[in-house]
């Protein structure tokens, strides 16, 4: 006789019931991401640097077919000596740039401290790879009731990632879009290893919308077009791509940002 046979039904329920019953589409201020919606392009710089820079980036993002503008006013940097972001004033610059160019705005909250300002101005809150495991922060972000872009922790299993989404939904998030951004492996030629297995698995077996960030996966601009095509071919519901009006002058992640020319060509091909 199997050991499971006498187990009461409630003992074998899913560890993430809300993830298992969530809607398949998340609405971000009128822009749908998920099953049946056109692939969503999210583009913008790694960091908000100045009012002029984010405005130029927003114009470029829109020209390439993006519907959402990305960019961090608060940056989770590996080194405390690296540029940490411009902070609160960057949120206002970004909101104005997004509005001027008809884009929705997605930006990261690193701590509870900036969360109220982020929630007030952004259409969607980004949880970064480094804070995917910060459960206290996930609860606070969920409580804002906003849609959330949940990046995968770079060493997180798919199950840990889904449980992080469960924290957000349980706390009240309006929806969660998962973002595969590459995981850490033994390989050193690329910044991370893009886990398209995870994307395929999630699309086959789960409901939450899934997008791919090929920029942080590859860490190099010349790989972004191929990875973008592969992601959409696998069924991803969208892409998040780092772009910069002048990558050589970028204050963070300039070595992976697409130039305007490269981005416009890719956008035209993918969503034009």
The helix (H) or strand (E) run that includes residue 149 is: strand 147-151
Nearer to ligand PEP, 32 or 76 (CB): 76
Among 95, 146, 191, 216, indicate the residue that binds ligand PEP (CB under 6 A): 216
The DSSP code for 246 is S
Crossing angle (nearest 10°) for helices 224-234 and 196-205:
20
Least CB distance from residue 49 to ligand PEP, whole Å?
13
| Cβ contacts of 131 within 8 Å, gap of 6 or more | 76, 110, 137
181 binds ligand PEP (CB under 6 A): yes
| Cβ contacts of 32 within 8 Å, gap of 6 or more | 25, 26, 40
Least CB distance from residue 130 to ligand PEP, whole Å?
6
Least CB distance from residue 3 to ligand PEP, whole Å?
41
42 forms beta bridges with: 68, 240
128 binds ligand PEP (CB under 6 A): yes
107 binds ligand PEP (CB under 6 A): no
Q: Binding segment for ligand PEP among 57-65, 122-130, 134-142, 262-270 (CB under 6 A)?
A: 122-130
Dihedral of alpha carbons 248, 251, 254, 258, sign: negative
Q: How many CB atoms lie within 10 A of CB 147?
A: 24
260: Cα separation from own chain's centroid: 21
Least CB distance from residue 231 to ligand PEP, whole Å?
15
192 binds ligand PEP (CB under 6 A): no
Least CB distance from residue 252 to Mn ion, whole Å?
6
Which parts of 218-257 interact with Mn ion (CB under 5 A)? 253
Size of the site for ligand PEP (CB under 6 A): 9
Residues contributing to the site for ligand PEP (CB under 6 A)? 46, 72, 76, 128-130, 151, 181, 216
């Amino acid at each position: 006789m199997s050991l499971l046979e006498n187990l009461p039904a409630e003992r074998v329920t899913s560890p993430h019931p809300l993830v298992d019953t969530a809607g398949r589409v998340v609405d971000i201020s009128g822009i749908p991401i998920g099953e049946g919606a056109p692939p969503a392009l999210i583009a913008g710089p790694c960091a908000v640097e100045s009012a002029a820079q984010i405005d130029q980036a927003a114009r470029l993002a829109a020209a390439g077919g993006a519907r959402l503008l990305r960019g961090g006013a608060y940056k989770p940097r590996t080194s405390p000596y690296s540029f940490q972001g411009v902070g609160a004033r960057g949120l206002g610059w970004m909101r104005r740039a997004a509005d001027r160019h008809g884009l929705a705005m997605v930006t990261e909250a690193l701590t509870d401290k900036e969360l109220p300002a982020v929630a007030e101005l952004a259409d969607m809150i980004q949880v970064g790879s480094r804070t995917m495991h910060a459960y206290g922060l996930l609860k606070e972000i969920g409580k804002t009731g906003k849609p959330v872009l949940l990046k995968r922790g770079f060493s997180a299993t798919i199950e840990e990632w889904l449980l992080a989404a469960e924290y957000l939904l349980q706390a009240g998030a309006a929806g969660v879009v998962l973002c595969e951004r590459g995981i850490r492996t033994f390989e050193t030629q690329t910044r991370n290893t893009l886990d398209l297995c995870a994307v395929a698995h999630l699309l086959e077996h789960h409901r939450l919308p899934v997008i791919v960030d090929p920029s942080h996966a590859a860490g190099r601009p010349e790989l972004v077009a191929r990875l973008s095509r592969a992601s959409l071919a696998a069924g991803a519901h969208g892409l998040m791509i780092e772009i910069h009006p002048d990558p050589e002058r970028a204050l963070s992640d300039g070595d992976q940002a697409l130039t305007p020319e490269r981005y416009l060509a890719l956008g035209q091909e993918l969503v034009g």
